[in-house]
Structure 1
Amino acid sequence: MEGNVAEKAIFSEHVDLKNEIAVKQSAEDSIAGVSAKEYNRILRKVDYRVIPILASLYLLSFLDRGIVMTLTGIVQNYSGLLAARFFLGLTEAGLFPGLAFYISLWYPRANAQFRLALIFASASMAGAFSGLLAYLISMMDGIGGIEGWRWIFILEGILTVVAAAISFFLVWDEPATATFLTNEEKSVILKALSPIQVEISTDPQLGAKQSAKWEHVKAAICDWQTIFHCMNYWGVACAVYALSLFLPAIIKGLGYSAAIAQLLTIPVYAAATISCILVGYYADKTGQRSLFTVLCYCAIVVGYIIAVAPPKFMPGLTYAGCFIAACGIYPAIPGQLALSSNNWAPNSKRAIGMAIQMGFGTMGGAAASNFYRSQDAPRYRLGHILVLVFAATGLATMVLYYLICRRLNGKRDAEADSVYQFTAEQLVEMGDKAPSFRYKL
């Protein structure tokens, strides 16, 4: 009799253990209330409708921006060129911050970097494509009595205008209003987008109901994260602008003609494109955004050290250094943007914060445009050193940011019960200050 009781107890414990394992396995295989397979199907459906048009727009914008670029092809003097460049900056400023924020409205935090990488990879593709296209269009020099450089601006600019007009009918505002998603699919996406613990909220559209408030603007400006994201982005922005603006000149300084220099930029940008996509994929897969961004910074630093370290000018090493640096520069930017979009909340604070981050970073272009002086050719050692300094600064702030976020996450883990003092609405309003919020690392 005692043996039977013991056997039943053991059997009961075994069943309970199996049930516990099954529940845990089910929880692991379930995302936002659906199976992982169904969740990935919905993400792919969004991918097909969102990513191609955004990547196309960004590729064209990096190749040559809107109406203003077309008109640049008909300027007749320096004053006209300055006016055209002013309006070019005015019209292009909002595109990339808008794209990065737009991705955060469609993709949960764990899935954002790969999509940003796909879009930003189009910029490196544009770098390769523009070199080839500029080379081919320049051969039209004299046709219609128009110089080759004017044809470049005119033809590439017209293409962008046509694509922009078409895109108006292809871009949806947000998942909640997307006609290509069913109500069930919208619910899954919106629930997955919530930065607070899903068990706290029974309303999957709660996050989408947030309204912009001036308090969020102030919060973004004064937040401790802002200075880190700005410094991180500044470090890599200087490098990307230096590379995109001066790579043909650097290669030409190695002893090649202008036409061949344009063609030799293609392998650099092709490698950068592959690197950008691979890093984005594995950063999402592992969830280690900071680690991959730090590794990218290390590649940038190594690349520029190779370019400046030799005691005498070695063209092959300079080209190799630019090659290695490009493979770190292009994946670092989507990594940083994914990290900042993950760690600013709510939506309106994220929008303002990302605008500040990229607005500050864009000034890296103003700085980098003065790094490479004609009198420093062909080595451009001063320019390389300055980019190296900014990249090293970005690397240091990235490591420090990671350590601070890890410490804050640990503190919130230790005080996890405090989350039940607040309603779901209050937690959403608190955003990244909510006790249920964990910073992505």
Structure 2
Amino acid sequence: MEKAHVQEHSRTSASSTDASDEKGRARQIEDVGVAADREKNAVDARGAGEIDTSGVDERKLLRKLDLALIPWLSFLYLLSFLDRTSIGNAKLYGLEKDLHINDSQYNIALMIFFISYAIFEVPSNVFLKRLRPSIWLSLLMFLWGIMMTVQGLVHNYGGLLGMRWMLGLFEAGLFPGVNFYLSCWYKRSEFGIRAAIFFAAATVSGAFGGLLAAAIANMDGVAGKPGWAWIFILEGLITVIAGALSPFIIQDFPDTAKFLTEPERAFIVKRLQSDNQFSAAGEDLKWKYILKSLLDVKTWIAMLVYAGSDGPLYAFSLFLPSIISQLGFKATPANLLTVPVYVFACIVTIAAGLYADRKGRRGIQNMVFLCVGAVGYIILIVSRNATLSYIAVYLAAAGIYPNIPNTIAWVSNNVEGSYKRGVSLAMVIGFGNINGAVSSNVYRGQDKPWYTLGHGIVLMYIGIGLITSVIYYIVLRRENAARDRGDRDEIIKGVNDDPATLNSRLAANGRFESVDDAQREKGDEWSGYRYTL
């Protein structure tokens, strides 16, 4: 039987070498069979017994995962972001005039989407874990496609509000759901670039949305419908079709995915467990996992970090055509001028995700990009030159878009336990989207053409994101240091039960049968877990 070395206080992380050098608490003991049992649990959790994974090529398997998961999910998010933000394009083609609504009513129509969107994100992620992703995500998409199509058939303000509420309700599950879902497939050092590519669909949506809206607007008068209505109808029908196809394309979780062989499934589970993702082999729903997320102060700090980028994101994406149009460009040229801005944002977002995965410094990267975004909005506030303001829009995009997937990856990297991670991500993303409801009201008609108030409020959000990013970074760094000192070590029965070895630094939540038991029960609170900075 394989032997595994476990420290007196049961830390088995990559930092154990450093810890072993610390005099006075470095005594190691042999705990026979711990590693073998851990490896066996990765497979036995699914009742499959021992499976030989020696023939699995890791590089080929990762390429297989990427091709099976990323392209279609990114396409779905492209449609999602296109559907929620196309109202900004429709506004330029007479939406307000035809529905007899004023500027304040238009802003309320934007806001109501985010309210239902934020409310249903946490429940949706719990359902996603309990049900099959291929069914849950596909159903949500099919239903929001119907709502989008019907949005093009409304004749009054009440109808628009109703459709925007329902659109937010059904779209709520996709973005937090997919990010949680992807975090269940990849190691922490691999997740960032996948999240960035997935989110980059939003930037492609922005570019594609401007082109598509300009083209669809030419259908003005067809079947008695104005051009803005056709934008909703055609984009909605595309989403309905994609939703109908999705059950046959979206895969389920690693331990049950049908496109993988049994050795490949076992290999994925074990490589995730080696990355301190102890719940990879499966986890039963327990309310204590959800409560852990709700009571974790790091979750609440992360919510403010994310709001610092997500609030500006929606202000930017919903009003960019209007901002550019007020710089002296008419509807179609204004839509077309948004295209290169989004292409630039897409390139920066993917490059940032790749860099963060390789270097692991997600917090520092957050701070740098927020500073870039702040410079962009300061220029927008003080500038009265159309060309300079248009250049500032690029800085604003570079400061906002990369931080969305980077923050999600940063939060996901620092939460262990599949249910806790799912709830934490949903809380973070949901709170960010509540702030989308706020930022969708900051660009008022009376403030054009320079929108000083709106830019100032977005700049405030960026400041909040910057300050809380620093706080989050400090909290994580201090907690890692406490674990390196041994302040968070658990009490393992039969290992350090001797009263002489129990000192004031042992901070266990009870006593554990083994290291594996402590890992499963404590998740990211386990002393061997190290937070990503």
Q: What TM-score do you get using the length of structure 2 for normalisation?
A: 0.72
User: Counterparts of 1:120 and 1:109 in 2: how far apart (Å)?
Assistant: 17
User: Counterparts of 1:61 and 1:206 in 2: how far apart (Å)?
Assistant: 30
Aligned residue among 301, 304, 311 for 1:228: 301
1:302 aligns to 2:412 (yes or no) = no
Provide structure 1 residue ranges, at least 5 long, that are not aligned to the other structure. 1-31, 199-204
- Superposed CA offset, 1:350-402 (max 9, x none): 11111111111101211111111111101101110110011011011101111
* Native 8 Å contact 2:417 2:524 kept in 1: yes
> How large is the RMSD of aligned CA atoms in angstroms?
2.0
User: Counterparts of 1:115 and 1:196 in 2: how far apart (Å)?
Assistant: 17
1:143 aligns to 2:222 (yes or no) = yes
Deviation above 3 Å: which 4+ runs of structure 1? 32-35, 195-198, 416-420
1:44 aligns to 2:63 (yes or no) = yes
Higher mean C-alpha displacement, 343-352 vs 133-142: 343-352
- Superposed CA offset, 1:276-323 (max 9, x none): 11000111111111122222211111111111134xx12122211111
Amino acid of the residue matched to residue 365 of structure 1?
Answer: G
Q: What TM-score do you get using the length of structure 1 for normalisation?
A: 0.87
Residue 163 of structure 1: how far off its partner (Å): 0.5
* Native 8 Å contact 1:233 1:361 kept in 2: yes
* Native 8 Å contact 1:142 1:148 kept in 2: yes
1:216 aligns to 2:289 (yes or no) = yes
Amino acid of the residue matched to residue 181 of structure 2?
Answer: Y
1:428 aligns to 2:520 (yes or no) = yes
User: Counterparts of 1:415 and 1:183 in 2: how far apart (Å)?
Assistant: 39
Partner of 1:349: 420
* Native 8 Å contact 1:196 1:437 kept in 2: no
Amino acid of the residue matched to residue 385 of structure 2?
Answer: M
Aligned residue among 312, 319, 325 for 2:396: 325
Residue 195 of structure 1: how far off its partner (Å): 6.9
User: Counterparts of 2:444 and 2:487 in 1: how far apart (Å)?
Assistant: 55
* Native 8 Å contact 2:369 2:402 kept in 1: yes
User: Aligned pair in 2 of structure 1 residues 385, 321: CA closer, same or farther (>3 Å)?
Assistant: same
* Native 8 Å contact 1:280 1:335 kept in 2: yes
1:245 aligns to 2:264 (yes or no) = no
1:363 aligns to 2:456 (yes or no) = no
1:92 aligns to 2:171 (yes or no) = yes
Partner of 1:29: none
Higher mean C-alpha displacement, 321-330 vs 252-261: 321-330
Amino acid of the residue matched to residue 332 of structure 1?
Answer: N
Higher mean C-alpha displacement, 378-387 vs 285-294: 285-294
User: Counterparts of 1:133 and 1:102 in 2: how far apart (Å)?
Assistant: 30
1:60 aligns to 2:79 (yes or no) = yes
1:166 aligns to 2:242 (yes or no) = no
Partner of 1:274: 347
User: Counterparts of 1:229 and 1:195 in 2: how far apart (Å)?
Assistant: 25
User: Counterparts of 1:107 and 1:148 in 2: how far apart (Å)?
Assistant: 43
User: Aligned pair in 2 of structure 1 residues 90, 206: CA closer, same or farther (>3 Å)?
Assistant: closer
User: Counterparts of 1:417 and 1:358 in 2: how far apart (Å)?
Assistant: 29
Bigger helix fraction:
1
* Native 8 Å contact 1:230 1:358 kept in 2: yes
Partner of 1:389: 460
Residue 328 of structure 1: how far off its partner (Å): 2.0
User: Counterparts of 2:487 and 2:251 in 1: how far apart (Å)?
Assistant: 37
* 1:67 aligned counterpart, secondary structure: helix
State the aligned residue count.
401
Partner of 2:99: none
* Native 8 Å contact 2:279 2:417 kept in 1: no
Amino acid of the residue matched to residue 318 of structure 2?
Answer: L
User: Counterparts of 2:351 and 2:67 in 1: how far apart (Å)?
Assistant: 19
Provide structure 2 residue ranges, at least 5 long, that are not aligned to the other structure. 1-41, 43-51, 84-143, 493-511
1:122 aligns to 2:193 (yes or no) = no
User: Counterparts of 1:382 and 1:436 in 2: how far apart (Å)?
Assistant: 48
Residue 419 of structure 1: how far off its partner (Å): 5.7
* Native 8 Å contact 1:195 1:437 kept in 2: no
Please show how residues 368-379 of structure 1 align to structure 2 within 5 Å.
368-379=439-450
Aligned residue among 187, 192, 195 for 2:266: 187
Partner of 2:101: none
Question: Percent of aligned pairs with the same residue?
Answer: 45
